[in-house]
Amino acid sequence: MTQRSLIALAAFGSLAILLGAFAFQYIGGYPPCAMCLWQRWPHAAAIALGVVGVLFPASFIAWLGALAAAITSGLGVYHTGVEQKWWQGPTSCTGSGDALSGLTGNDLLSLDGPTGVVMCDEIVWDLFGISMAGYNAIFSGLFVLIWIAAARSKY
């Protein structure tokens, strides 16, 4: 495959991941947690790099794409570990820590603030025991390999 086609393939993979995430959110009714949102940004960057890379193929663009894919894959691994309770996640979106200790009963029962907070340490969907974060880690790891192949190939 040419560099251009490998870049397009990797960028399309990130596009598919993002479209899937939005489908789960808006069609399936699975709102994302904060860590899920973190994982979306590198995919958006990879898509933008893919568009540039298809128009102007260059190895450095492919290396940047590999970096974006590696970042979201790493975030997926981290998020999976938080979900599986292998390590602590950020106290801002997990059920641990002292985040609620300073609140009164009225604060906890108030409906004035945002509702439907999604905790990062809870698995809301899985397939074959793998959560969405786990699938993001796996597929994004494959995208890293495609981006690297693109960086090493010629137009």
Q: Are 75 and 38 in contact (CB under 8 A)?
A: yes
Confidence at residue 46, expressed as pLDDT on a 0 to 100 scale: 98
Question: How far, in Å, CA of 110 to CA of 117, rounded?
Answer: 14
pLDDT classification of 24: cutoffs 50, 70, 90: very high
Number of CB atoms found within 10 A of residue 14's CB? 27
8 A C-beta contact, residue 21 and residue 36:
yes
- Give a yes or no: residue 31 inside a domain: yes
In this predicted structure, what is the pLDDT of residue 102?
58
pLDDT tens-place string over residues 71-107: 999 999 999 999 999 999 898 887 765 555 556 666 5
How many residues are listed for the chain in this entry?
Answer: 155
User: Does some domain include residue 105?
Assistant: no
Residue 61 falls inside a structural domain: yes
Beta bridge partners of 130: 127
Say which CATH number the domain at 42 has: 1.20.1550.10
Is residue 101 in a domain? no
Q: Does any domain span residue 77?
A: yes
* Range of the structural domain that residue 76 is part of: 3-89+119-152
Within-domain flag for 38: yes
Q: How many domains does the chain have?
A: 1
Q: Using DSSP, state whether 10 is helix, strand or coil.
A: helix
DSSP H helices in 84-131: 105-109
In a domain, 108, yes or no: no
Is the separation of the CB atoms in 10 and 42 below 8 Å?
Answer: no
Residue 107 lies in a domain: no
Q: What is the rounded CA–CA span in Å between residue 36 and residue 80?
A: 10
Are 43 and 17 in contact, with CB atoms under 8 Å apart?
A: yes
Percent of the chain exceeding pLDDT 90 equals 75
